[in-house]
Chains A and B, each alone.
Chain A
Amino acid sequence: MSIVKNIYLIVFMLAGLMLAGCKKFLEQEPYNRLSVNDIFRDLEGARTTLVGCYDNFKDANYHQRMFSLYPELTGGNIKYARSNDPYLFNAYYFANTTLASQNDMTSFYQLGYNTIYRANNVLQYIDQVTDATTLQRNRLLAEAYSFRALAHFDLVRVFALPYNYTADASHEGIVIRTANTNPEVPVEAPASVRAVYQQIGKDLDSAIVLYTNSTNIYAGGDAKSWLNIDAARGFRMRVALYMEDWTKAIEMASLVIGTNSYSLVSNSSYASSWRRSTSPNMDQEALFYLFALTDINQGSYGDNFNAINNSIFGYMAASNDLLNLYAPNDVRGKATMYRDTTMSNVRYSFTRKYLGRNDSANNQKLIRISEVWLSRAEAYAEGNNLAAALSDLNRIRQRAIAGLPAMNTTDRQAILDSIYVERRRELCFEEHGLWDITRKKKSLVRTDCTGATCSIGYPSTLFACTKPTQR
């Protein structure tokens, strides 16, 4: 009987104990995944969320296809080498609608804001990361600010008219997200383009300050495959250029150039340097590139131009409008930088910028020193420092054509026009196309194009892609 008594005493005591300890018992963290609170508990976890931002950048809906091709197709650098259901067909004819299913850029829109969401989480939960040193913590923050700025910048360029469309940039921009809010709280209305650019500038400035007092947080990979201070300065320069803040653009460009870390590839090596793993390599010009996987099957930006090996994606051919811009002896021209392929009895040319490892797995340079030179040239020219502008411009011009005499003129407009064409020759397929046209208030002229909206006069609201909405 006493044993029996003990048994039930034990049972009931256990029951009591179980309930007393239930708070802990009910805080069951999932095993397969980590909750937001949990992942930001240490540096290791926080770092993976940032790597996730790079993953977003590499996504087919971002830099691997949709976002990158958008300005190139609309800007007239690309024509389709096949007719059935090509990518960005609505975008090509400026026919995107608010209906998510009839808008080519829906997924990019979503992914852009998803990247911002990820970056905001880092900024929001940084105080929970207890094992990071101040230097590491600064790097986490710097990258988060950079990603937030870049995603906003990419979104505002696609979905809004250029900064200088109105005198005070008061026209509609995009929704600014600087914090992740409870989904019950209504999303803010789109801010003005000025406000969006100010936010982007502010975030990049914060990143630059933080980078100066930070340390590397990744164990592997080339330093240029991660965002860094020079990339932040480079992008800040690009933002300033769009904002027509010439002083800021010159300041940023000079800082990057002043590091002497990014030399131009020479004329003789130019064509070969665009192939992966050659030496000298175009990677040396890059301030930041997206690292391409070595296996061609894993998808890369280069697939879009690889008609020979990639029958699924490889149909983004160069337009004659672009090819006709090159002088015969230009190293960037048809003979050296393009591969010709006949598809359905038509001969097409495809850029060689992304060759390598079975022929489309090259690192995707998101900003490189050639752009910095050309941008500073533009800023100098706009600021009427013509000598400095010519000096910068000639570096690119003379690198492209061996033996080309230096341009020497006092005609400001001629310099600006030359820079305008030079940018297209040098930076085609590198996410500038349409925006380099519209921010210079020029009309879009696509002659190697069939259809109703091949050419659009400036100004036009068509230059902003319609935003998709959820019904």
Chain B
Amino acid sequence: MRGLTAICVSLLLLLLALKCFAQGQILKGVVVDGETNLPLEGVTVQVKGTSLNATTKKDGSFSFSLTPQQADGTLNVSYVGYQPQSARIGSRTSITIQLEPLKQELQSVTINGYQRPKRKEEVVGAISSVTAKELQVDRAIESFDKMLEGLVAGVQVETNTEPGGTPKINIRGQNALTEVFGSNRQGLTTSSQPLFIIDGVPIQEMRKGDEPIAFGAEEFQNPLNGVNPDDIESISVLKDAAAASVYGANANNGVVIITTKKGKSGKAKFGVSFNSGISNPINRLKWLNGPQYHELAKELYLNEGINPVTAEALAGSREISTNWFGITNRTGRYQNYDMELSGGGENSTYRVSASFLNQEAIQAGNDFQKGYFRIRLDNQLSKKVSLSTSLAPTFTRKNALNIYSELTPIVPNIPVYNADTTYYTITGVPNPIAVLNQNTNYSEGGTINGNVHLDVQVLNNLRLVGNLGTDILTNKQSLYESALNETGRTQGGFAQIIDRTSLAWIGFANAIWNPRIGDDHKFDILAGAEIQSQSTKLLRGFGTGFTYYRLNELSNAARQGSASSRQQTNATSLYLQAAYNLKDRYNLNISGRQDASSIFGTDVNTTLNGAVGAGWTISKEPWFGKVKWIGLLRLRASYGTTGNSRIGSYEARGLYNIGSSGYNGQASSDPVSLPNPNLGWEKGYKTNVGVDFNFLKRFRLTFDVYSNITDDAISSVSIPYELGFADMLANTSKMQNSGWDASLNAQILKGKVVWNATLNAGYNQNKVLEVKNGGQRDGTSDLAVALRPGASTGAIWGFQWAGVDPQTGVEQFYNKEGKIIRADDRTPGLFSMANASVIGNRLPELQGGFIQDVTYKGLTLIVTITYVWGSERFINYRNEWNGNNLDNRNQSVNMLDRWQKPGDITHIPMLNRQARSGIRFVPNSSRFVYDETHIKLANLGLSYVLPAAWARAIKASRMSVFANGSNLFYWYRQEVPEGRNGIKEYRFSFPEAQSFTGGLKINW
């Protein structure tokens, strides 16, 4: 894989001298690696059409004595792992041949857990790999997890449009339950994010744990922002038990392994890259303008029986029309600078890289800066001992006022400023421009990822590996809500600092034994022990009552408060991975891992996971040899278990909280939960059957069918009140994700124009099979989530909409029996969650990507198309709330279609407010469920290697320019009437951006 950092293949034949001899000629030559310029030993050099051949020596040299006829011929050079090459001899006496590493061969090497990288023919598990090139790091995307969208079969990346935000990643569907009561009680289900491991060190996740309620307002950063996409050499996604089980207790959501680049021996290579661009909002929500808003507001008051004069006055100005969203939008900017220095001698290599990223979002008040540094040293200390060290500090700053998503969209028929240039204010509704200029909300922090890796070849077939790594994360969120606007007025200004420091370390030691018995039996046995610890410290300070608006440090606050919290979890693990290879055709893999974690009670704190997998390379069977059109045919099957211990809380242990209030001046303590000594680990049972099929020399197909069952999923259950509590955490549910994923790669054109195309697809169905112990739960109607058997955990629970009654303008719905029920029917419980049914599913049926990669000479074009099929989105109903919030908030233009008079056939009911009209508003209505099915032209990337002469002019070896366009085009299945909002506008609350970037890359 290490040859793939350069995007284009550049073959240079250097003609060092020209000389003709009439008779006999000595040709001396040297063969070197085209990328590292290091000599290659053992290369076969043959004069075409003759029996004359030679093998290169240690210094890569070879020589021939040629007849004139032969000298007119061609040299054929071939070497395992490199592209064969031929070169005209002409009259030359010396020649340097640079061999280009063979990409195909390298691509098929797979990182597989703790074991050495393996060739595809040896891999038994379902593993997808992404190379740096495929990742397309030149895109205007700030973190690699967002870049993965559409690139890996079976991996769904639900992107987050906010810069630095955390996308949701589902590997083969969502394997943890959806929290029924919303994300602020996140700590009560296990994490649904995969386990990310960078060079052997797991990345810590920022999520709610056991901390006191005082930390509820903390905004989380994406921890993967700490990984510079430019440093990534490859990414492996472990999807089934055979691959992931060796990561045991945390592998149920799949494992993503990131390998970083390292230096290569040879002279120092220096590269810089500069990338800059702009972005503009797309698919913006269309809001009512001033006159439209006035009309609707007035109509609402008239409907409520208010007299026309008062209604006109209450509705505000008829003329003023402020386009708040236009004012707060801007053209986003993007800049990225990269620097890389690498090289080394025979026994040591180094690589140093640094990057700086600056992103100004399309929404004013939101920007993101990131600085990365990474140093990696690889030393061969002796013939048998090698040491690899890396250190990667990063720094992040993020401004996130989020005035779209966090503030109430203010009404349009008011001005920004009063006549005296102060900000126009409505009580309780912040003026966004005032917020933009008076408030601050930024996060500053960083990560340090460090690793020391020692590798000792004790015997010929026995290696010992020791590794010590750390992952440190700090983040400080500083918020100031000024007393000058509505966000902080009542408190006289509010300032808050939340400081998070997480320290994780991991140590592991592996013994790897590779015995062989004859040529037919090869073993690869790995046994290891791992110990890890993670601690998080939180500190919060806050203050209110700032006497002078410009001084907003906490020390200036009249009233101050603080809180702190500490959490620590420790874990130890033992694991074994044994691979047996029979005749290079049959592979058997057995792996097991025992984890013990301090998070669960002492009785159940140990869990054992294991997997067995087998592979059969049919195409290597002797009897198969004759089928020419099949390059590789291989079957794989695996079964095993994984776990998920990332519950983030000690709640199961029956904890007492020391209260600050107490009684009568004495401190009190309160039991916060009932201890459940039986609470155990969630268990995943994964079955996978796959086939690898390379055919017609151009096509490579990988197809896997799977069934993943998550059993004993943790959720909160109702318990008899007599136990002293209303609920507790228990292992309640059994859930299945089943489906298939496939990746088809085709080399459509070879030769001058190289055209590669890859189609990825993942089909998944989620179903909650069983909910035990009375764990069945309904969330609130707002969230439309329920934990009930028989449906997907992503199901949207609500009521099928039956349109607006043309006579009365009242909404109607179908109940479970298919009978029409009306919103003005006051029967208790009619619209309770207990009567709701499934009206959509947030999880897609099919999703994936289609990537085309065309190269012609120095020009490369990569087109990335992503698609999602069969998922629904439950949108924010507050933008179309039938008038309930019309008095203080702007609405979607869709509200223009409201029912006005008997006979109107429309899909928006009569404007009314529930409190006055008695007409119920049903938030979990299928009216708010939109089909998310879409195809997106996610990226178009073009790069061009500039003529060598240009590069030479600045003494560089290579110069290239590149350009990218992101989010270029969308097709949504659900159509939207002209001038109205639909799925594409409602999908993201932080507006989506379309970006265009261009850049230059120079290597010396």
Contacts and interface: CB of A to CB of B under 8 A. Distances in A.
B654 A15 contact: no
Interface string B926-963: 00000000000000000000000000000000000000
B725 A117 contact: yes
Contact of A291 (B596, B597, B664, B675): B664
Given A19-B529, A22-B596, A187-B723, A55 B668 contact: yes
Interface in B543-574: 565-572, 574
B210 A8 contact: no
A34 B466 contact: no
B722 A11 contact: no
A291 B730 CA distance: 38
A48 interface: yes
Interface in B646-705: 650, 653-659, 661-672, 674-678
B665 A221 contact: yes
B529 A26 contact: no
Contacts of A22: 531, 572, 596
B449 to A, nearest CB: 20
Interface string A210-239: 000000001111100110000000000000
Contacts of B669: 34, 39, 45, 48-49, 51-52
A121 B671 contact: yes
A159 B675 CA distance: 27
Interface stretch (A65-73, A178-186, A341-349): A178-186
B466 A183 contact: no
B509 A30 contact: no
B774 A28 contact: no
A55 B662 contact: yes
A113 B571 CA distance: 36
A22 B596 CA distance: 9
Contacts, number: 198
A35 B663 contact: no
A30 B570 CA distance: 11
B666 A114 contact: no
B572 A32 contact: no
A110 B724 CA distance: 6
A220 B666 CA distance: 7
Contacts of B676: 183
Interface in A446-471: 468-471
B312 interface: no
A157 to B, nearest CB: 17
Given A32-B567, A47-B666, A19 B572 contact: yes
Nearest to A49: B669
B454 interface: yes
Interface in B566-588: 566-572, 574
B567 A30 contact: yes
Given A7-B454, A18-B507, A49 B664 contact: no
Interface in A150-209: 175, 177, 180-184, 187-188
Contacts of A49: 656, 668-669, 671
Nearest to A56: B670
Given A30-B567, A30-B655, A33-B656, A52 B650 contact: no
A182 B466 CA distance: 43
Given A18-B531, A18-B572, A113-B724, A4 B466 contact: no
A470 B721 contact: yes
B720 interface: yes
B89 interface: no
Contacts of B596: 22, 26
B658 A33 contact: yes
Interface in B690-748: 718-726, 728, 730
Contacts of A4: 381-382, 385
Given A19-B572, A54-B664, A55-B661, A33 B466 contact: no
Contacts of A116: 724
Contacts of B656: 33-36, 39, 45, 48-49, 52
A255 interface: no
A331 B454 CA distance: 90
A36 B650 CA distance: 12
Nearest to A33: B655
Interface residues on A, range: 35 or more
Nearest to B209: A32
Given A11-B509, A15-B507, A34 B382 contact: no
B602 to A, nearest CB: 7
Contacts of A15: 466, 507-509, 529, 531
Interface in A311-370: none
B598 interface: yes
A30 B650 contact: yes
B670 A55 contact: yes
A58 B507 CA distance: 50
Contacts of B206: none
A39 B667 CA distance: 13
A52 to B, nearest CB: 4
Nearest to B675: A36
Interface residues of B, number: 69
B565 A31 contact: yes
Nearest to A225: B664
B268 interface: no
Nearest to A290: B663
A177 B723 CA distance: 8
Contact of B663 (A18, A106, A291): A291
A109 interface: yes
A19 B676 CA distance: 28
B211 interface: yes
A154 to B, nearest CB: 14
A183 B664 contact: no
Interface in A86-117: 106, 109-110, 113-114, 116-117
Given A25-B572, A35-B650, A113 B668 contact: no
Given A36-B656, A183-B676, A221 B466 contact: no
B212 interface: yes
A121 B673 CA distance: 13
A14 interface: yes
B940 to A, nearest CB: 49
A118 interface: yes
Contacts of A113: 721-724
Interface string B595-614: 01111001001000000000
Interface in B499-537: 507-509, 529, 531, 533
A109 B658 contact: no
A184 B679 CA distance: 11
B104 to A, nearest CB: 37
B466 A12 contact: yes
A151 B650 CA distance: 29
Interface string A377-391: 000000000000000
A366 B661 CA distance: 21
A32 B535 CA distance: 12
A149 to B, nearest CB: 16
B382 A19 contact: no
8 contacts: A11-B454, A11-B466, A36-B655, A51-B663, A113-B724, A114-B724, A183-B719, A220-B666
Per CB-CB distance, the 6 closest pairs between chain A and chain B, nearest first, are A117-B724, A28-B598, A51-B668, A31-B566, A11-B466, A221-B664
Interface of A: 1, 4, 7-8, 11-12, 14-15, 18-19, 22, 25-28, 30-36, 39, 45, 47-49, 51-52, 54-55, 58, 106, 109-110, 113-114, 116-118, 121, 175, 177, 180-184, 187-188, 218-222, 225-226, 291, 468-471
Given A18-B529, A34-B655, A470-B774, 20 more contacts: A1-B382, A12-B466, A15-B466, A26-B596, A26-B605, A30-B567, A30-B650, A32-B212, A33-B658, A39-B656, A39-B669, A48-B667, A49-B656, A51-B666, A51-B667, A109-B721, A110-B726, A183-B723, A187-B723, A220-B666
Interface of B: 210-212, 381-382, 385, 454, 456, 464, 466, 468, 507-509, 529, 531, 533, 565-572, 574, 596-599, 602, 605, 650, 653-659, 661-672, 674-678, 718-726, 728, 730, 774
